[in-house]
Amino acid sequence: MSSVSLASPASARMPSVQADAERLAGRLAAEVTAAGAWRHLEAFQRAADDHNGVRAAGTAGYDASARYVTRRLTEAGYQVRVQRFSFPDSVPVSQIARVTAPDPRTLHPLLARFSPATPDGGWRGRLAVLPEKAYGCDAADYAGDVRGHAVLARVGGCDLARKTELAAAAGATALLVNVDQQPADMNIRSTVRPPAVARVPTANLPRGEAERLAADAARGPVDLFLDLRGRAVTTDSYNLLADTPAGRADRTVVLGSHLDSATEGPGLNDNGSSAAMVLETALRLAPHRDTVRNRVRFAFWGAEEEGMIGSGYYVGQLSDRERRETALVLNFETIASPNYARMVYHGTGAVPPGTDTVEKVFTDRFARRGLPTVPLEFDGRSDFAPFMAAGIPAGGGSAGYNHLKTPEWQRLFGGTAGELTDPCYHQTCDTLSHLDRTILGQFGDAMAWATARFAVDVSDVGTARGR
């Protein structure tokens, strides 16, 4: 990020507008609390408990969560709009993997979305392990004896689509990826995008199982049986949108988070924590609607876990004028992580003008409360991505998901270095019981403060965008 701020000096803003913004921001920040959001989290937990333990897009658990959000918003006087969409999806049918020799045992793969299937009756063959420092992102990584074998690669280095293309070109018949997470038995489902490039059956393995396979292969041949099959489906889902009745539509502030969970768990931190706080912010802002100068749109995105489908659909449906009239988007992910880091979205390089101003509002608010922060790069992994691609400034933050806590983060925030900020990321244990109320409340304060501030004054963001 350039060292030259794009924001207008504070002195250039109208004193009365700035005072009004500070007044509403302070009031809303005091009224939005972790206790208030916790009631919504309890409702999301019930939605998961009553519907097979998940709240993923296209499931009854998601519908139950959406009904709760709609009811609470309606009771507060909002008109809720349902924005429906459909998207191609893939569901696992068989996820079986076994070592048949020399040390027979069962493995626990997660089939990648859009993965091709192994042959009818499964596949039997030998394992080939890529060199230790290879990610499987270059053709040279497959220079060994991989033809006709199942290849074991490391996560990272490039996207999964490139790994599958290169593995197929080298003649491999399957791709197994070491997900390389803590703890050793943690696994996370991946997606091959675009689906058309998926060439070989592909699945992730927990780090512990993958490392044991690699150690066995270093001593001699390892034989496998794989039965990896998925089914193509079309999933129907929807976003929920609610606007403040007052405020300029040509300076719309979007406050959003995704409402859906991953398909592997109830998603109370990811991303029920943020959705609950967005809802609480909307409810607490409702009595102050007459002080809002810029329209605030509260958004609950569907199908984020499938690749920001809901937010992408929303942005794609905006007219050119509506895009220009969107002043900024505030986006939050996993704001109640138990081993948290206090992270604020930070852009380096090509980010929409005004983004650094949004970042500064958050860092200043935390600093005012004596709470240190660290930057979180805009990595394209959440619902800010479609907005930024459309040139709309973005900001927000996260308490961490599958980030490994560093010693420096431990010094700043406590917790345990060397462990994930959220050890239940995309797991069945992502329940109400593992959330941290303290960081939830701190992010709630910052969310409320920034929302109210921009609901009154976006002049510095707008100036940065050349308005």
The catalytic residue positions are 304
| Amino acid at site 429 | C
Q: Which two tokens stand for residue 150?
A: 């199942």
- Residue 233 to residues 58, 118, 248, Cα–Cα distance (Å): 11, 18, 41
